[in-house]
Structure 1
Amino acid sequence: MSRVTLQTIADRVGVSRMTVSNAFSRPDQLSAQMRRTILAAAAELGYVGPDPSARALARGTTGAVGVLLTESVGTAFLDPMAAAFFGAVAEELAPTGMAVVLLPSTGSEGTIPARDIPMDGALVYGCAGDYPAVDWLVKRKLPLVFIDGEPQADASSVHLDERHGSRLGAQHLLDLGHRRIGIFTMNPTATPGWAPDAGLATSNFVARERQAGWVETLADAGVTPVVMQVRDNAEPDVSHGARALVADPDRPTAVLCFSDLMAAALVHAAEDAGLRVPEDLSVVGFDDSPLSRRLRPALTTVHQDFDAKGKAAARALTSAITRSRSGAPPVAEQHRILVDLVVRDSTAPPPPA
């Protein structure tokens, strides 16, 4: 059987070769009916379309964008918040025809996905700007958008209004009457345990922003919190920190947690120690993940809109890619996603003195 080409299809339909080419690469140039007729003829002849590599070379684009992860792809999909974000990104990009490629921070046998995989731009999801894989993306001069990370001078960023969210949580506890308030957070560079200085700096952008909101709000009310720090927002660190917190005889009556995961660990540790939540200990989370609603008591937490964040990130990256293709310089825009406090059953007034 002879090889099927664009000209073969053009002869079958009775149109020009360019019209057939447009059906695959520039569908906006044709009527919907004409494109359906051409694609039906191509399918009948067994033609699957132009070679993607050749088409990318000719157009100067790959038709794909990357999402750089701090962890493995498998680990990322175990996180329901990350999965919701990825889904929103893919949904927003679907009309553009661009595919989403998830990039682990490291590859195997010397491969570096951020260096080696063809893409038109990338979302940097929760990685610090000095992360080695980020450096490769920058060297490639790709359009970038940073998510939940330190804003960069020459790239757009999307992040939550972290400080506002943490202020809402802190004010909620103050309004309930709490004055002995703790903060349970992460600091990758700190020694785990209680920190007497509530303003202790952390290298993690999100943790730093949330802690600033908590400390500022409590300071306005004349309250100085104590801080329980762990190195990572993951097991086993959060369980170790939670158990140490509830074991302290001078523990606070309420705790503001960096995440719902930390809040859940604290609730479980309190129950194991014979404490009641919220009668003996009020707990506030952050994220409003599915875990917050499954927990008993249901968790008071700060709600973030994963769908809005993912779609804002996709739109920002699409805009950056368009500017890059036109030769325009990058524009560093900051997109801030609003948050709300969801009050459930894990908070109550403090126990009697």
Structure 2
Amino acid sequence: MALDGQTAGETGGDVAPRVTLQTIADQVGVSRMTVSNAFSKPDQLSAALRSRILAAAEELGYVGPDPAARALAKGTTGTIGIVLTSSLNYAFTDLVATSFLGAIAEQLAPTGLAITLLTSSDSGAIIPARDVAMDGALIYSCDPTSSVVDVLTRRRLPLVYVDQDPVAHISSINVDDRNGGRTAAQHLLDLGHRHIGLLLSGLHGPHGVVDPSAIKLDGHASRERLLGWQDALRPAGITPLAVRQDGTGLEPARHAARLLLDRPDRPTAILCFSDVVAYGVLQVATDLRIRVPQDLSVVGFDDNPLAVQIQPALTTVRQDVAAKGRAAAATLTAAIAQTRTSGEITPQHIVLPTELLVRDTTAAPRV
């Protein structure tokens, strides 16, 4: 299939003659295939010959092989999709998401693969998961009720789940959220706390004060962290006061935190789904003149940059977001390569460790 490139630009209102691979071949005195190799298979040519070809291409105004034609010829788009939540704003405003995406970009840089960010929304005439060309996709922290996974699976694309419930036939990257939650709760118990609050996050279901033993959380990380908290609290005979925030972000966290703190029987410690949620708790505590950690202990989750920027520095459970991004990119590129060579993918299931980082927001309760 021809990989002739894009037309040279227009000058002075006249359309310049169309420059093709053959045009350059005639100028340099080589075959059309040799010119094509200069762009697509540079290792097939000597450095001197390739330099002559590229110099001629630049002189003639040749941009390069048409990406669409090259993709069609090679059977690859050179792009992977990253499917996020229903709003792409999340990718640019959430510190954990930006760190994750940065690590993916760094891991993919030597491969030449590009990244396309996709929303998991399936409303309207255009469904990105169905309509955007890609060689494979990462499904990252998406609403499990979304139909995008089904669409991508029916497209027979290599997939990797990240922060999703793992399934046997699709590779997955998760962190040990349950052990992280368990360690955080045990830390508060070891300090002597017995009146503990939970601040949960989730897209669907009841919000406000909830029964943590009965609620069904939709997200993998939310559910695993809650299970971890309960692993430590139940054997200690503690029934926590739980609140589920309505939505994501700082303002819903602040509203939920007030439900926990602006009451006569407020907890002496709060376990939070994330560091952003914990930041909301700290802000409300300041508003209510509750001292941290003297009157209230707070534990976050993620160890995003915010954790050490706020005062007091946040006790939190660290997940290695960069390692998660690198593992996700490497697993997907391996799956894409397997698809091209054998048509079969050997799923990988990776669980990365978590670590409790004790800083300045936790202390023993006042007697």
Give the shorter-chain TM-score range. over 0.9
Cα distance, 1:217–1:95 mapped onto 2, change above 3 Å: same
In structure 2, distance between residues paired with 1:107 and 1:199: 30
Cα distance, 1:50–1:25 mapped onto 2, change above 3 Å: same
Q: Which amino acid aligns with 2:38?
A: A
Q: Which amino acid aligns with 1:83?
A: T
Q: Which runs of 4+ in 1 moved over 6 A?
A: none
1:18-37 alignment runs, 5 A limit:
18-32=33-47, 34-37=49-52
Q: CA deviation at 1:221?
A: 3.5
Q: CA deviation at 1:80?
A: 1.9
Corresponding residue of 1:76:
91
Identity %: 53
Q: Which amino acid aligns with 1:188?
A: L
Corresponding residue of 1:318:
333
Of 249, 264, 270 in structure 2, the residue corresponding to residue 255 of structure 1 is 270
Higher mean C-alpha displacement, 66-75 vs 276-285: 66-75
Whether the 8 Å contact between 1:70 and 1:126 is mirrored in structure 2 is yes
Two-structure CA RMSD over aligned residues (Å):
2.1
Cα distance, 1:39–1:108 mapped onto 2, change above 3 Å: farther
Corresponding residue of 1:223:
238
Corresponding residue of 1:51:
66
1:1-353 alignment runs, 5 A limit:
2-32=17-47, 34-106=49-121, 110-198=125-213, 200-352=215-367
In structure 2, distance between residues paired with 1:2 and 1:189: 59
Q: Which amino acid aligns with 1:351?
A: R
In structure 1, distance between residues paired with 2:117 and 2:69: 23
Whether the 8 Å contact between 1:122 and 1:317 is mirrored in structure 2 is yes
Q: Which amino acid aligns with 2:107?
A: E
- Please give the TM-score of this superposition, normalised by the length of structure 2: 0.89
Whether the 8 Å contact between 1:198 and 1:227 is mirrored in structure 2 is no
The Cα offsets for residues 232-269 of structure 1, whole Å up to 9 and x where unpaired, read as 33244212110010012222211110011111111111
Q: List runs of 5+ in structure 1 lacking aligned partners.
A: none
In structure 2, distance between residues paired with 1:32 and 1:258: 55
Q: List runs of 5+ in structure 2 lacking aligned partners.
A: 1-15
Aligned residues: 352
Q: CA deviation at 1:34?
A: 4.5
Whether the 8 Å contact between 1:190 and 1:230 is mirrored in structure 2 is no
In structure 1, distance between residues paired with 2:122 and 2:200: 30
Cα distance, 1:318–1:28 mapped onto 2, change above 3 Å: farther
Cα distance, 1:323–1:201 mapped onto 2, change above 3 Å: same
In structure 2, distance between residues paired with 1:144 and 1:111: 21
In structure 2, distance between residues paired with 1:150 and 1:263: 24
Q: CA deviation at 1:60?
A: 0.8
Q: CA deviation at 1:106?
A: 3.6
Higher mean C-alpha displacement, 288-297 vs 5-14: 5-14
Q: Which amino acid aligns with 2:314?
A: L
In structure 1, distance between residues paired with 2:203 and 2:86: 15
In structure 1, distance between residues paired with 2:56 and 2:358: 59
In structure 2, distance between residues paired with 1:197 and 1:38: 68
In structure 1, distance between residues paired with 2:363 and 2:20: 72
- Please give the TM-score of this superposition, normalised by the length of structure 1: 0.92
Q: CA deviation at 1:15?
A: 4.1
Q: Which amino acid aligns with 1:102?
A: L
Q: Which amino acid aligns with 1:98?
A: L
The Cα offsets for residues 192-227 of structure 1, whole Å up to 9 and x where unpaired, read as 233344463312211110011111022344433232
